[in-house]
């Protein structure tokens, strides 16, 4: 040990610096007074220095001519002089942290917490466009990751070296809702043998078609969570931005399929430790490691994950509970609202929105409405739609298929005929989607189920029509035009239906004569235009509007005065009635 005081101090500083570098490399604290990790890091350094000072002081009990008591007194005096600056720093940090914590409490800053999130009122029917059945996501996160993991097993050249990460991110990719996830090294040995090339692929799962694809890269990803050393994405970002506080980086791909890490920059806006918000994001190329910081208003439009769902829900809970002050949130709870237990994602206007329900403070089984928040810009709107909570809707859907034992995933909110509707994929015990349900938000006893999304949507519209909520014409439609090749008719439930087949087609269009009186004067060879329901895997489509070129509708409405048995003959004597297919 050095005998001079300067030598001892230098040795203490050297040991403390070495320990500090190791601790910083492992824990990666932000060098920022707003970060709690920074205070833990500095306190650790102070403790290490004090321990070093005790060791390097050279105290020996019973050594020399002095009595032990005198030796101890002299030793403590020396330690006091040497460690006073460090002790003062510890006290100062404790005071700063205490004051910062107190000034960050909601009890003193209720209005600041309430204003963290700006919430506007929205109009559901105009803001949320009706989604075609071939654009509705049919998977939840667990199902998508199950499919992604299973897809890895089909790649013999990768399966022994790499694994699926089970850390997917939902994005809009080329107009489609998908989940993307990087692959990882299978273990430390596989990392050592493959690190020079990097991770050669990522996995894309289409949330609509349920197709999983492993996308190979021409150059491997060098920066990821599976890297244990300097190329670990969190360590890489910390060395580039030592003072920034980051939320967990999210994996995304741009419209060209290039892999990126999106690291939201966290700031504290109330006191030292309160008012967590997102100020911007660092975009890091997963292949090259090149990074660029953007303020939240300047983040590129292809980025979908900047403001996380947990942050949006936390800020709304402050907004909803502190609307009339802190004490009202605890005692009277007048007008207090909170988010429900769970969230999902909706793809709108090439952005991803967080969806969650809003309920009263007593968390009953009814929602007051729901919240949509843009994950890139944090633009947030509240839609008033009183009705069942997501959990109640899940239970209602499971009740319809309880004999099959299917489990409901967390609902997705969609617009069907202007009605807020819970869309719920139903899974078996292997996490495979076997059926679909649509539950009306306002009247959750209205539940439609089917094996395809299209059939479920049509059944749901029919049930809404029976309840007088909407009309059958609100069913998503398309048009078919051509010459009539074949006509058949039948009486179903007291109404005459004409079944038309057009030239070059194999399907029949079902026309209700009571609603489309032109059907009664049709002949083979007439040119018609039919607006009909969007169908899927069916040979008969329901037509809603019939237009016949060169013919006008009868002046009198069609009224059936003959028994159904006499009226059920074919329109053409050469034609036969279609046979029932059971």
Higher pLDDT, 48 or 462: 48
Backbone angles phi, psi at 418, to 5 degrees: 80, 0
Segment 132-147 shows an average pLDDT of: 82
C-beta neighbour count of 574 within 10 angstroms? 6
- pLDDT at position 473 is 55
Lowest mean pLDDT segment, chosen from 97-101, 157-161, 400-404, 534-538: 534-538
Question: What does pLDDT average to over the chain?
Answer: 84
- pLDDT at position 582 is 34
CA distance 537 to 24: 60
Residue 52 has pLDDT above 90, yes or no: no
- pLDDT at position 71 is 61
Residue 496, Cα to own-chain centre: how many angstroms?
48
Closest CA to 162 of 192, 184, 193, 194: 184
CA distance 135 to 149: 23
> In 134-229, where does DSSP find H-type helix?
141-152, 188-194
> Which of the four pLDDT bands, split at 50, 70 and 90, describes residue 75?
low
* DSSP 3-state of 394: helix
β-bridge pairing 407-408 and 169-173: unpaired
> Half-sphere exposure (CA, 13 Å, Cβ side) for 501?
15
Closest CA to 150 of 205, 190, 199, 188: 205
pLDDT digits (tens, 9 = 90+) for 533-559: 665 546 777 776 777 877 766 654 444
Backbone angles phi, psi at 141, to 5 degrees: -65, -45
- DSSP calls for 208-221: TT--EEEEEEEEEE
Whole-model pTM over 0.95: no
Closest CA to 133 of 349, 394, 425, 376: 425
- pLDDT at position 575 is 42
Which residue is associated with the tokens 């990126």?
A: 260
Residue 565 has pLDDT above 60, yes or no: no
Residue 487 has pLDDT above 50, yes or no: yes
- pLDDT at position 27 is 95
- pLDDT at position 558 is 44
- pLDDT at position 579 is 40
171: left (phi over 0), alpha (psi -120 to 50) or beta: beta
pLDDT digits (tens, 9 = 90+) for 337-358: 999 888 988 888 788 999 999 9
User: At 359, which helix (H) or strand (E)?
Assistant: strand 351-360
- pLDDT at position 568 is 41
Q: Is the dihedral of CA 331, 333, 337, 342 positive or negative?
A: positive
- pLDDT at position 562 is 39
CA distance 36 to 514: 73
- pLDDT at position 574 is 41
Most confident stretch, 266-270, 331-335, 473-477, 488-492? 266-270
% pLDDT > 70, the chain: 86
CA distance 239 to 22: 14
CA distance 461 to 441: 14
Higher pLDDT, 79 or 103: 103
Calculate the dihedral angle through the C-alpha atoms of 546, 552, 557, 559, rounding to the nearest 10 degrees: -80
- pLDDT at position 74 is 64
Segment 403-418 shows an average pLDDT of: 88
- pLDDT at position 580 is 36
């Amino acid at each position: 040990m050095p005998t001079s005081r300067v030598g001892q101090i230098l040795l203490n500083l050297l040991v403390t610096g070495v320990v500090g570098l190791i601790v910083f490399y492992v824990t990666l604290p932000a060098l920022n007074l707003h970060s709690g990790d920074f205070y833990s890091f500095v306190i650790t350094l102070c403790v290490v220095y004090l321990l070093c000072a005790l060791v390097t002081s050279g105290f020996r009990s019973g050594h020399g001519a002095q009595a032990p008591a005198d030796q101890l007194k002299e030793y403590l005096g020396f330690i006091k002089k040497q460690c006073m600056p460090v002790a003062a720093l510890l006290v100062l940090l404790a005071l700063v942290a205490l004051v910062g914590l107190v000034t960050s409490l909601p009890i003193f800053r209720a209005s600041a917490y309430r204003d963290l999130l700006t919430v506007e009122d929205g109009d559901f029917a105009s803001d949320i466009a009706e989604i075609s059945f071939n654009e509705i996501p049919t998977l939840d996160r667990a199902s998508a990751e199950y499919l992604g993991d299973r897809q890895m097993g089909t790649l013999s050249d990768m399966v022994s070296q790499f694994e699926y990460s089970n850390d997917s991110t939902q994005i809009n990719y080329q107009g489609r809702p998908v989940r993307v996830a990087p692959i990882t090294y299978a273990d430390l040995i596989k990392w050592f043998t493959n690190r020079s090339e990097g991770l050669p692929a990522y996995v894309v799962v289409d949330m609509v078609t349920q197709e999983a694809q492993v996308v190979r890269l021409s150059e491997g990803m060098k920066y990821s969570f599976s890297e244990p050393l300097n190329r670990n994405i969190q360590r890489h970002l910390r060395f580039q931005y030592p003072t920034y506080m980051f939320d967990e980086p999210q994996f995304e791909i741009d419209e060209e399929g290039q892999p990126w890490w999106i690291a939201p920059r966290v700031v504290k806006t109330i006191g030292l430790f309160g008012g967590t918000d997102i100020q911007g994001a660092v975009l890091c190329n997963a292949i090259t490691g090149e990074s660029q910081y953007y303020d939240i208003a300047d983040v590129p439009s292809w980025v979908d994950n900047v403001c996380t769902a947990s942050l949006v829900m936390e800020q709304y809970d402050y907004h909803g509970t502190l609307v009339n002050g802190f004490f009202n949130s605890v005692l009277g709870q007048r007008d207090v609202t909170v988010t429900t237990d769970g969230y999902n994602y909706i793809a709108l206007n090439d952005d991803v929105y967080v969806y969650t329900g809003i309920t009263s403070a007593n968390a009953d089984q009814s929602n007051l409405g729901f919240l949509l928040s843009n994950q890139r810009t944090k633009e947030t709107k509240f839609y008033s739609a009183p009705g069942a909570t997501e959990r109640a809707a899940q239970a209602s859907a499971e009740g319809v298929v309880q004999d099959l034992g299917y489990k409901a995933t967390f609902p997705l909110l969609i617009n069907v005929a202007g009605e807020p509707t819970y869309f719920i994929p139903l899974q078996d015990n292997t996490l495979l989607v076997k059926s679909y349900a649509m539950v009306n938000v306002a009247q959750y006893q209205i539940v439609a189920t089917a094996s395809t999304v299209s059939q479920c949507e049509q059944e749901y519209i029919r049930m809404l029509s029976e309840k007088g909520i909407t009309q059958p014409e609100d069913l998503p439609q398309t048009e078919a035009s051509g010459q009539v090749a074949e006509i058949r008719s039948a009486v179903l439930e007291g109404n005459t239906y004409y079944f038309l087949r057009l030239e070059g087609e194999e399907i029949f269009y079902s026309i209700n004569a009571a609603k489309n009186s032109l059907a009664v004067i049709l002949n083979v060879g007439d040119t018609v235009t039919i607006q009909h329901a969007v169908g899927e895997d069916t040979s008969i489509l329901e037509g809603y509007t019939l237009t016949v070129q060169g013919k006008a509708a009868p002046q009198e409405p069609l009224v059936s005065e003959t028994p159904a048995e006499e009226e059920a003959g074919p329109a053409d004597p050469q034609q036969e009635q279609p046979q029932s297919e059971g």
